[in-house]
Amino acid sequence: MINFNYETAFRLKEEDRISAWISGVIDSEGFKEDEVNYIFCDDEYLHKINVEFLNHDTLTDIISFDYTVGKIIQGDVFISIERVVENANDFEVPFDEELRRVMVHGVLHYCGYKDKSDEDASLMRDKENHYLNAFV
């Protein structure tokens, strides 16, 4: 089950469509969906989580907590809408596209993809692009 939670005034458009898309990503990667919670928030909210749980005193667009067991996907994905807006402007892409990229990025981490090395980051970006193109 994909759940959407809001700690800010932002509201996701087309929750059902995006939920089905994320479920399809999980299935395509050979995993089973249990519960994935997306929490949309602002910079301040996500910064507090970053400091408290990860000891990182920086702003970020996404933090994901992975509770996956074997092939059963579970996790919490926190997304700063303020960061997504700024990134969309910086990368000159539509906000909705950047938001979907961040959303699928979190789930791909749960599927085992990493992004710390250049090679891993390149594979992650390829997967993101593949699934972004599949969003219909």
Question: Which residues are part of a known binding site?
Answer: 105, 109, 115
Dist. CA 121–CA 127, nearest whole Å:
10
Chain segment 67-89, per-residue pLDDT in tens? 999 999 999 999 999 999 999 99
Known binding-site residues for Zn(2+) equal: 105, 109, 115
Report pLDDT digits (tens) over 88-113. Answer: 999 999 999 999 999 999 999 999 99
Domain carrying residue 33: 2-134
Paired sense of beta strands 62-66 and 72-80, if any: antiparallel
CATH of the domain at 8: 3.40.390.30
| Alpha-carbon dihedral angle through residues 9, 87, 113, 76, given to the nearest 10 degrees | -10
The number of distinct structural domains making up the chain is 1
Cα–Cα distance, 91 to 113 (Å, whole number): 23
